[in-house]
Amino acid sequence: MSTYKINEVFESLQGEGSYTGLPSIFVRLQGCPVGCPWCDTKHTWVVSPELKTTSNAVMAETAESDSWFEQTTEQLLGLFNLHGYVAKHIVITGGEPCLYDLTEITSSLIAKGYSVQIETSGTYEIIAHPDTWVTVSPKINMPGGRLVLRSAMRRANEIKHPIAMQKHIEELDEVLTLLGDQAVPNIYLQPISQQKRATDLAIKTCIARNWRLSLQTHKFIGIE
């Protein structure tokens, strides 16, 4: 039975992309080598054995931490019940969740009646139940040096791209060529850190290209 290294679990509303506003249980996995400079979860990057702890210790934390615990899917379902979570949508994020083979966890959750979403950089193979909703936020020219994979782009149900300047639009145009003749899924532009310049550029580009805007709603309303 597979186990997963978990940085945090919490229930909230999805604030980004197609599922914005949907009550969701977030499962944040530990580990990410991509190295995005603006990442707001850098505490999930390194899997340090000395920071392994218990689920009780992590769930009791009131601030971001680089500690993590390890559980099976069945144990994770028990954790949902223990904390009274009622949302029926699961977001598996990170870190980079596709460091893991997610077949078992996604299949088990879907069999239990949950819808499941993965949020990934697109730099690792996506191994999951075919009914999993995949959000690819393609991380291009990041310090970790990993390339966005054609297979990940072609598996995406939506593409969500953080931008701050025109070069980020140009990078997205380049990586969209990986789709070949496949239909382009919904594309969301997300202004980095809600900067005015980035937001103005995202609005202008979305209107010009008939793309969509993702505004990290959870940050505007002050929830996790």
Q: Which residues are annotated as a binding site?
A: 13-15, 28, 32, 36, 38-41, 93, 95, 137-139
Annotated binding site for Mg(2+): 41
Detail the residues annotated as belonging to a binding site for substrate.
13-15, 28, 93
Q: Which residues are annotated as a binding site for S-adenosyl-L-methionine?
A: 38-40, 95, 137-139
Output the DSSP codes for 30-96.
S---S--TT-S-GGGS---GGGB--HHHHHT--S--S-BEEEEHHHHHHHHHHTT----EEEEESS-
Handedness of CA 98, 65, 10, 137 (dihedral sign): negative
**Binding site for [4Fe-4S] cluster: which residues?**
32, 36, 39
Spatial neighbors of 98 by CB under 8 A, at least 6 apart, are 118, 120, 121, 123, 124, 125, 126, 127, 152
